[in-house]
Amino acid sequence: MKMSKLDRLGIEVSKLGFGCMRLPMKGDAIDREQALAMFDYAYQHGVNYYDTAWPYLGGTSEPFVGEALSRYPRDSFFLASKMPVWLVESEADFERIFEEQLVRLKTDHIDFYLLHALSKARFDKVLEQGLYDLCRKKQQEGKIRYIGFSYHDPAERFPAIVDRYPWDFAQIQYNYIDPHLLGADQLYQTLESRGIPCVVMEPVRGGFLSTLPEEFNAIFREYDPDRSPASWALKWVASHSNVKVTLSGMSSMEQMIDNIRTFEGDLTMTPAEEQVVDTVVRKILDVHTVPCTGCEYCMPCPFGVDIPEVFKAYNNFKLFRNADMTRAAYFERLKDGFRADSCKKCGKCMKACPQHIQIPDMLETAHREISEACLTK
């Protein structure tokens, strides 16, 4: 297992981190036998970074991770979890949630503790509630070792959060397609320029980059028939010098074995490999998508449509043509009333859109094309 030295923190972590948001399931419950076997395989192969959060798997991830990791010496791994900022309205809320997390995780401290999924609105709450200072207090008590945050907002808002506090690390979404769609290079470069260790989530973009259409997979396979599309995506991320941990949300032993094989090999991208990835990226970007940046200026919709999420689901559908993932993103995660068919074409959103998108027409198109592809199978 390749390791990363975090000189700023004086520790060494595995370059592959086990993201525990997508553990194998049996119905609505975690598949305990398979998941415990995956933890054992990861641990035995040198993975020492395990990431979970309060809401993952309906609140069952933290307790399961606590159980799984309690079988190993506590000083042999690093545990990461997150404060659900959206649930905190007072210091008492912070204290209650944090102390319950320690119980769930069967530990007296959390190594890497993040303020979860910061956006502009959530960072405003961080400031109002003094949440960083509350984390610092826990750090002084020895209950938190390192303080960071995860980020889910446009790139232009990132530096204001990064520069507000002396963060020990930060977690961003980064993969080979998002520099072109979400400005993810700006996030990475901001952290690199300030010497802040970077943890990466969604290196295979929620699974989309591991289940590419055959015409894209063929490009990878022509260069190396034995490497999976996921391996290409993970190696691209891990090759960046300031990416200290690449989190993979593995949900099967097959994925675990493939990922560990990747991180036991050479993580330097050759010029030829870079060219292969660039070729795939260019072909993906040739697909026509809605030029939505997720800025949310169009929100809130008077009729409840979650416009950025609709376009995100539609763009992923157009780019990667994965009906199962699109069905889950659009018809399961987006509930009734939030989907595009609730649009009344009032036009309010168009007046606020800096990209001048014909939003009502594109919402209609998105709903029709997704429905045709996903509800007829």
Exposed, middle or buried by CB within 10 Å (0-12, 13-18, 19+), for 242?
middle
> What amino acid is encoded at 334 in this protein?
L
Q: Are strands 29-30 and 25-26 parallel, antiparallel or unpaired?
A: antiparallel
- CA angle, residues 130, 132, 137, in degrees to nearest 5: 95
Q: Which of 230, 226, 209 lies closest to 284 in space, CA to CA?
A: 209
pLDDT, position 240? 98
Task: Check pLDDT > 70 for residue 377.
Answer: no
pLDDT, position 136? 98
pLDDT, position 287? 87
When pLDDT is cut at 50, 70 and 90, the band that residue 152 belongs to is confident
Is it true that the peptide bond before 300 is cis, omega within 30 degrees of 0?
Answer: yes
Q: Taking all residues of the chain, what is their mean pLDDT, rounded to a whole number? A: 95
Going by the DSSP 8-state scheme, the letter that residue 207 receives in this structure is: G
Tokens of 292: 């939505």
Instruction: Give the phi and the psi of residue 25 in degrees, each rounded to 5.
Output: -120, 150
Maximal C-alpha separation, the chain: 59
pLDDT, position 217? 94
pLDDT, position 206? 86
pLDDT, position 237? 98
Averaged pLDDT, 356-364: 95
Averaged pLDDT, 241-252: 97
273, 227 Cβ separation under 8 angstroms: no
Task: Check pLDDT > 70 for residue 376.
Answer: no
Q: Which of 185, 186, 174 lies closest to 244 in space, CA to CA?
A: 174
User: Which residues does 301 contact at the CB level (< 8 Å), separation at least 6?
Assistant: 307, 342, 343, 348, 349
| Separation of alpha carbons 231 and 94, rounded Å | 38
Averaged pLDDT, 337-360: 93
Exposed, middle or buried by CB within 10 Å (0-12, 13-18, 19+), for 348?
middle
Ranges of each domain in the chain: 3-279, 307-374
Cβ neighbours of 221 (radius 10 Å):
14
Encode pLDDT of 34-88 as tens digits: 999 999 999 999 999 999 999 999 999 999 999 999 999 999 999 999 999 999 9
Q: Is the pTM of this model over 0.85?
A: yes
pLDDT, position 268? 97
pLDDT, position 294? 81
Going by the DSSP 8-state scheme, the letter that residue 166 receives in this structure is: -
Q: Which CATH architecture has domain 3-279?
A: Alpha-Beta Barrel (3.20)
48, 16 Cβ separation under 8 angstroms: no
Determine what percent of the chain is predicted with pLDDT higher than 90.
Answer: 89
pLDDT, position 375? 85
271-275 long-range Cβ contacts below 8 angstroms, 24+ apart: 272/223, 273/223, 273/232, 273/235
Encode pLDDT of 102-144 as tens digits: 999 999 999 999 999 999 999 999 999 999 999 999 999 999 9
306-309 long-range Cβ contacts below 8 angstroms, 24+ apart: 306/334, 306/338, 306/339, 307/349, 307/359, 307/363, 309/333, 309/334, 309/338
Tokens of 156: 């232009």
